[in-house]
A and B are shown apart, each in its own frame.
Chain A
Amino acid sequence: MAPRHRFSAADVRRAAALASLALSSEEVERFADELARVLDGFEWVESSGPPPEVVSRDRHLEPGLRSDAPDSDTLHKPPSELAPDWRDGFFVVPRLPALDR
């Protein structure tokens, strides 16, 4: 049975370009058909009612995030303390062989 939703080859190419994904022409056609069928399962978008009222706010039961406060971190040190070698405000790195030619 043909899918009810339309997910065109152009839609696939557009998404692929946004996602930096090289696809063959065979893949473009196949994914267009497969993704249209996946979207067919998303009828809830139109049919579901508004989101429910929140019935409880028990913070103990809520997954949470740690506070966004600054923490001690090695990157808080001045770069000179992190560098193996530091001269005149610059990191010292191995000399490129090309400069000696």
Chain B
Amino acid sequence: MGALRSLSAAREMLSLGEDAYLELASLALHRAHELEGGEAPIHAFLSLVEEPPRFRAELSPAGGAAASRLAGVPIAVKDNICTLGLPTTCGSRLLEGYVSPYAATAVRRLEESGAWVIGKTNLDEFGMGSSTENSAFGPTRNPADRKRVPGGSSGGSAAAVAAGVVPAALGSSTGGSIRQPAAMCGVVGVKPTYGRVSRYGLVAFASSLDHVGVFARSVPDAAAILGVVVGVDRRDATSRPRDPGPVSTSTAGEPSEALRGRSIGVPAEYFGDELDDGVRQVAERALDTIGEAGARLIPVSLPSTATALSCYYVVAPAEASANLARFDGVRYGRRATGGRTLSETYLRSRGEGFGDEVKRRILLGTHVLSARQYEAYYLRALELRRHVHEDFRRAFRTVDALFAPTTPTVAFRLGEKRATPTEMYTADIFTVAANLAGIPAMTIPIGNQGGMPVGGQLMCAAWEEEKMLGIAAALETCLEYVHPLAGEA
């Protein structure tokens, strides 16, 4: 059985009707099961549907006016995004077996467009991590090298797309959990502007930083999925009231036309000492390509980059400590036995249900919000978040977009950083700032280093997804680099 490479390949197959739909569904499910086997399974999925939903002829590509561009397309969904029928565990023992009574808005919009959810993908527990090793159900492995992590926290979604199980997947990002695994697995990952995609049905980690976004194997595919899930949703108070409309990539004309005359900012702070030499070389080659296509490369400075990571690791745990209070074994979650009082039941349920990283962040968040620490840490972090905003505002007054590497290194080995939380946190050093500022940002594969994918990051001003995707599509074409599917290198 083969792999599913793109939306266009899926649509071409689906245009042949119901038999082709069943064949494609069978192919995707077979591929998913195939990758779960062997001595070192990819373990991208925590749950899979047993069989696809019935064929909807009216939505198929041959179905006339009502035809939907996603009809019959299998999509994977990160397991902290609520779906009907499949469990939503957030990678936590505490929510093992939990089935949501409603579907997230992003999922519902995909299903209304004819797509179907093939399964729920593995993640760091509640989205807290950068390697998908913090899942209570075991780590996901990188399809490019099964001894390495896929990044995180949306490592299962990135791996499912990279391995060709599905052409696209939903993920979530609080500090880089879409761009970082996309870079490490060699796929496209898009985090939209805060408020552009509804967070209704996304299990909250840090509400002011949480985003729903997409993975795909090409920029046009990512744009197609994003175009379906964006839009105002009254169920999410942060959903933007005047959404600028659906996103698309301009495919007219030569790809270099989309880059000619553009000003691309190159932030010096993203090319510092912490950047691996191999990743630097790949990123600099991508910059050469951008310049050769006619764009102006402009050095810029984002001075708050150095403090953004610390700012993030105050704000995110603080919000997490409040959001995760609901998981107490009574309102939600597995209830511990043996508690003699309600309070003891809460303590035991949470103590037994949460993993180490979640406990660490709840403790840190509770500490920085406590009476003696609130001003020193939390309020200071909020002030510094304004520095991050202002850095970007200043930069986008002179440039159309920013380009930088997504991660300081390629995917690291399983277990390499797990024992040292502070080292693990540095994997997010180039991604947290865009979450703090709420601006759109994305990863595209730009090359490889020692056989491992390297991702380049584009960032634009808020609500400028269309511009960002247009530049990314042009760069993707100019670079002519697509990371091979697992087993095809």
Contact = CB atoms under 8 A, between A and B. Distances in A.
Chain B, interface residues (CB within 8 Å), range: 35 or more
A61 B462 contact: yes
B285 interface: no
Contacts of B422: 37-38, 40-41
A8 B145 CA distance: 40
B108 to A, nearest CB: 18
Contacts of A65: 237-238
A90 interface: no
Given A19-B362, A34-B360, A64 B393 contact: no
A18 B351 CA distance: 13
A83 interface: no
Interface string B321-346: 10001001000000000000001001
Interface stretch (B36-44, B56-64, B382-390): B382-390
Contact of B363 (A12, A43, A60, A67): A12
A15 to B, nearest CB: 4
Contacts of B380: 44-45, 48
Given A35-B360, A48-B307, A20 B390 contact: no
A56 B376 contact: no
A61 B463 contact: yes
Interface in A42-73: 42-45, 48, 50-56, 60-67, 71
A55 B387 contact: no
A34 B377 contact: no
B311 interface: yes
Nearest to A72: B234
B143 interface: no
Contacts of B350: 19-22
Contacts of A20: 325, 328, 343, 346-347, 350
A18 B366 contact: yes
Interface string B354-391: 10000110111011001000001100100110110010
Contacts of B284: none
A87 to B, nearest CB: 28
A16 B363 contact: yes
B384 A56 contact: no
Given A41-B422, A42-B377, A64 B309 contact: no
Given A31-B359, A38-B313, A54-B390, A63 B366 contact: no
Given A35-B367, A63-B462, A52 B387 contact: yes
Nearest to A30: B356
B240 interface: yes
A21 B421 contact: no
A22 B380 CA distance: 29
A27 to B, nearest CB: 7
Most central of A21, A27, A56, A71 by chain B CB within 10 Å: A21
Contacts of B195: 63-64
B194 interface: yes
B397 A56 contact: yes
A82 interface: no
B314 interface: yes
A38 B240 CA distance: 35
A14 interface: yes
Contacts of A54: 386, 390
Contact of B234 (A38, A63, A66): A66
Contacts of A43: 310
Contacts of B425: 38, 41
20 contacts: A16-B363, A16-B366, A19-B325, A20-B350, A21-B350, A21-B359, A21-B363, A27-B359, A31-B359, A31-B363, A41-B310, A44-B380, A48-B380, A48-B383, A48-B384, A55-B390, A56-B397, A63-B194, A63-B195, A67-B241
Given A16-B366, A48-B383, 13 more contacts: A12-B363, A19-B350, A19-B366, A23-B359, A31-B360, A35-B363, A38-B425, A56-B393, A61-B393, A63-B240, A63-B462, A64-B240, A64-B241
